[in-house]
């Protein structure tokens, strides 16, 4: 199945007209994954038997002509729990965890008759920006297999970019959807905090985590977000606000739209080719009738330290439950209860997870709480206020998704600070609970460059409208990578 030539709408039309069946589509998808996995390693597990069973049920009941996702195989990040399908969060401590329930987003996809084809690789517990922190395998960039796919949702991004699946789900805590979308030349959206239920998402940082879609096109992305959004009584942080149809009015254009470009997003540390691509994008938006002005987000420079204190503090709390007692990895040859805790966690967690647990525990300690966690929470408020001031006058914020294109495998993994700074442009969006999108905006030395669009809370429709207008005016989304395509 050539997912470079087909989108959700065209596949849906083929299914409705019975030119292909859901079983045919699933078999072809499984064959494509088998062929391309040798190069990309995007999946931790492929549920061949389960996927074919789901497809047969769709065929028997008939493809739902009113539902674009009916019969479509999708990849799911391995920190989203799936009943009867192993969910590991790419960690040894959950190596054999078989969930007894589905995450809310999986329930919604099943209700839409979408097919879960398998679970994608990621940084352990979503902690990382390159998918090099997985306990099980190393995923490669679809465009250059010597480069990282980004993280933590690198497997979900690489699976879509390499044409293994037409769409997938990831999660974004500090840029973990937008950064790998940028590195792989596809569309990735982190919705407004609360837009999508987090029930069944293995928690990293509860005030920041959000599930979102990866696709090859903006319209496909809006379609998938439609399916997974909405209030959930099992997640008290999910919003009761009515969910609009994100595809409605997507072709409305940007004429009269006011777009802000923060000067801090094009400052020191952002590569020259990235700046050039963003400036070219600004020209496109102006040509389409938008007004683009430079603004300032003065506190965004503190985003990285604020994020790593808050996220690590929440992680140290959330990961207490993984103790080797109830489920997950349990150490052998232990002498007492304390031995079970210490050895199970020492053996089960990787270095990056341990690093963040230690940082978070330190930040929450009695002697350091005021100096670190409390101060970080105060600066987070200032970052939110910066965004609020800009959105009082502008419809969108525009800038690069990442300061560079994809870096080499092994290049930054030994230097945590350098790795953390790769998220400097995406982190503020999570701290403020805003929606953000990355979409292809150019190429440098054969590697994709991502453009980031940021909207006000619950204004994904404006973000999709602008993204769609840019996509229709450019050819970047039509490029295919080395895996499965012709680059």
**CATH number for the domain including 91?**
3.90.1300.10
Is 152 catalytic? The answer is yes
Is 17 catalytic? The answer is no
- Per-residue pLDDT, averaged over 4-21, amounts to 96
Where residue 78 falls among pLDDT bands split at 50, 70, 90?
very high
Question: How large a percentage of the chain has pLDDT more than 70?
Answer: 99
Long-range pairs of 482-485 with CB within 8 A, sequence gap ≥ 24: 482/142, 482/143, 482/144, 482/145, 483/36, 483/39, 483/40, 483/142, 483/143, 483/145, 483/161, 483/162, 483/163, 484/3, 484/4, 484/32, 484/36, 484/142, 484/162, 484/163, 484/164, 485/4, 485/163
Asked if the structure places residue 196 within a domain, the reply is yes
Asked if the structure places residue 174 within a domain, the reply is yes
User: Which residue among the candidates 45, 70, 77, 182 is catalytic per the annotation?
Assistant: 77
Where residue 413 falls among pLDDT bands split at 50, 70, 90?
confident
pLDDT at 128: 94
User: Which residue among the candidates 152, 229, 313, 344 is catalytic per the annotation?
Assistant: 152
What is the domain count for the chain? 1
- Per-residue pLDDT, averaged over 410-430, amounts to 85
- Report CA 19 to chain centroid distance, whole Å: 32
- Per-residue pLDDT, averaged over 183-200, amounts to 98
What is the C-alpha to C-alpha distance for residues 230 and 426, in angstroms, rounded to an integer?
24
Q: Could you tell me which of 363, 320, 367 has the C-alpha nearest to residue 344?
A: 320
Question: How large a percentage of the chain has pLDDT more than 90?
Answer: 93
Cα four-point dihedral sign 421, 208, 89, 82: negative
According to DSSP, residue 449 is labeled E
Side by side, the strands of the sheet bearing 187-190 are: 43-46, 115-120, 73-77, 167-172, 210-215, 187-190, 436-444, 447-455, 396-400, 258-262, 291-295
Quote the domain boundaries for residue 49.
Answer: 8-250
pLDDT at 326: 81
pLDDT at 483: 79
pLDDT at 401: 97
Asked if the structure places residue 293 within a domain, the reply is no
Q: State the chain's mean pLDDT as an integer.
A: 96
pLDDT tens-digit profile of 313-369? 999 999 999 998 887 899 998 999 999 999 999 999 999 999 999 999 999 999 999
**Residues 143, 184 contacting (CB under 8 angstroms):** yes
Structure tokens at 58: 């769709």
Asked if the structure places residue 44 within a domain, the reply is yes
pLDDT tens-digit profile of 268-322? 889 999 999 999 999 999 999 999 999 999 999 999 999 999 999 999 999 999 9
| pLDDT of 416 higher than 90 | no
Exposed (0-12), middle (13-18) or buried (19+): which is 241, by Cβ within 10 Å?
A: middle
| pLDDT of 36 higher than 70 | yes
Measured CA to CA in angstroms, residue 159 lies from 3, 117, 131, 180, 198 at distances of: 11, 11, 13, 11, 22
pTM check: above 0.85: yes
Asked if the structure places residue 289 within a domain, the reply is no
pLDDT at 139: 98
136-173 exposure pattern, b = at least 16 Cβ within 10 A, e = fewer: bebbbbbbbbebbbbbbbbbbbbbbbbbbbbbbbbbbb
Is 365 catalytic? The answer is no
**Residues 278, 284 contacting (CB under 8 angstroms):** no
pLDDT at 116: 98
Asked if the structure places residue 461 within a domain, the reply is no
Asked if the structure places residue 88 within a domain, the reply is yes
User: Which residue among the candidates 176, 182, 239, 363 is catalytic per the annotation?
Assistant: 176
φ, ψ of residue 158 in degrees (nearest 5): -65, -35
Contacts of 14 (CB under 8 A, 6+ apart): 6, 20
Asked if the structure places residue 130 within a domain, the reply is yes
């Amino acid at each position: 199945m050539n997912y470079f030539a087909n989108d959700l709408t065209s596949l849906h039309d083929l299914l409705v007209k019975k030119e292909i069946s859901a079983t045919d589509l699933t078999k072809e998808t499984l064959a494509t994954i088998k062929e391309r996995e040798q190069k990309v390693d995007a999946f931790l597990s492929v549920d061949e038997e389960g996927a074919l069973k789901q497809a047969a049920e769709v065929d028997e009941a008939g493809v739902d002509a009113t539902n674009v996702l009916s019969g479509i195989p999708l990849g799911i990040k391995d920190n989203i729990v799936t009943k009867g399908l192993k969910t590991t969060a790419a960690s040894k401590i959950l190596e054999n965890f078989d969930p007894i329930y589905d995450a809310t987003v999986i329930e919604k996809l099943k209700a839409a008759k979408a097919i879960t084809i398998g679970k994608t690789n990621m940084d352990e517990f979503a902690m990382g920006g390159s998918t090099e922190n997985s306990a099980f395998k190393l995923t490669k960039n679809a465009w250059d297999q010597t480069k990282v796919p980004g993280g933590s949702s690198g497997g979900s991004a690489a699976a879509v970019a390499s044409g293994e699946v037409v769409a997938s789900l990831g999660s974004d805590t500090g840029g973990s959807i937008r950064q790998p979308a940028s590195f792989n030349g596809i569309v990735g959206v982190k919705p407004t905090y609360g837009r999508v239920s987090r029930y069944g998402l293995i928690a990293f940082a509860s005030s920041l985590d959000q599930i979102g879609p990866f696709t090859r096109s903006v319209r496909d992305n809006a379609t998938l977000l439609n399916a997974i959004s909405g209030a959930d009584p099992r997640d008290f942080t999910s919003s009761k606000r009515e969910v609009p149809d994100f595809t409605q009015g997507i072709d409305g254009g940007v004429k009269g739209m006011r777009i802000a470009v923060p000067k801090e997003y094009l400052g020191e540390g952002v590569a020259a080719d990235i700046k050039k691509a963003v400036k070219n994008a600004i020209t496109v938006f102006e040509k389409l009738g938008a007004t683009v002005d430079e603004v300032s987000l003065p506190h965004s420079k503190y985003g990285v330290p604020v994020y790593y204190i808050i996220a690590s503090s929440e992680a140290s709390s959330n990961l207490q439950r993984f103790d080797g007692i109830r489920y997950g990895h349990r150490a052998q040859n232990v002498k007492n209860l304390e031995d079970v805790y210490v050895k199970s966690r020492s053996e089960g967690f990787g270095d990056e997870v341990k690093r963040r647990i230690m940082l978070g525990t330190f930040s929450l300690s009695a002697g350091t709480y005021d100096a670190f966690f409390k101060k970080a929470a105060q600066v987070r408020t200032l970052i939110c206020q910066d965004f609020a001031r800009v959105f009082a006058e502008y419809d969108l914020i525009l800038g690069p998704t990442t300061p560079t294109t994809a870096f080499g495998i092994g290049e930054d993994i030994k230097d945590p600070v350098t790795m953390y700074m790769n998220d400097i442009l995406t982190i503020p969006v999570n701290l403020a609970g805003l929606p953000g999108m990355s979409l292809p905006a150019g190429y440098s030395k054969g590697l994709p460059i991502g453009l980031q669009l940021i909207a006000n809370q619950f204004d994904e429709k404006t973000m999709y409208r602008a993204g769609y207008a840019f996509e229709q005016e450019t050819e970047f989304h039509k490029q295919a990578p080395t895996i499965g395509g012709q680059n």
